[in-house]
Amino acid sequence: MLDAWDAQLKKRYPDYDAALYRIAELEGLTSSEGKVLPHRVLGLAPYQTRVINALARRGKASNEAIGTLVWGEEASVDTNGLIKTAVCRSRRILAPHGITIKAVWGFGYEMDQASRENWFAAVAAAQNVQVAA
């Protein structure tokens, strides 16, 4: 059913795939309210912030999906190692703020609802600090 719908949209809108890519890209760069994501949240490096935000926006995401959201479809490097490193280092920083990330074997990573809400609160606080500065 969805494949037929997808095919109809692609036929009607030639730029359909590009639009889907752009939507995914913007999800990785924006907060849940659609505001531009701050470069640093809770002291994370910018790429760590983008990785965690991409995961928080989806709740559960594969390494491939996170890599596409953060680095784009045409990433010139294998992003699995970068994602693993970003998550590993971020866990230690995020744990005191009530944000946990669970590895899902053979898939990617998952954040529970409470962790996602805590992340979005931290992003909002970081955005307010940047606006006030």
Ranking 33-37, 50-54, 76-80 by mean pLDDT, the lowest is 33-37
* Cβ–Cβ under 8 Å, residues 67 and 54: no
pLDDT, residue 115, reads 96
pLDDT, residue 133, reads 39
Q: H/E/C letters for each residue in 39-86?
A: CCCCCCCHHHHHHHHHHHHHCEEEHHHHHHHHHCCCCCCCHHHHHHHH
Instruction: Summarize the confidence of residues 18-27 as an average pLDDT.
Output: 59
Ordered by start, the domain boundaries in the chain are: 2-132
Domain covering 2-132 in this structure, CATH number: 1.10.10
* Cβ–Cβ under 8 Å, residues 101 and 91: yes
pLDDT, residue 130, reads 47
Grouping H, G, I as helix, E, B as strand and the rest as coil, residue 37 is coil
Q: Is the pLDDT of residue 25 over 60?
A: no
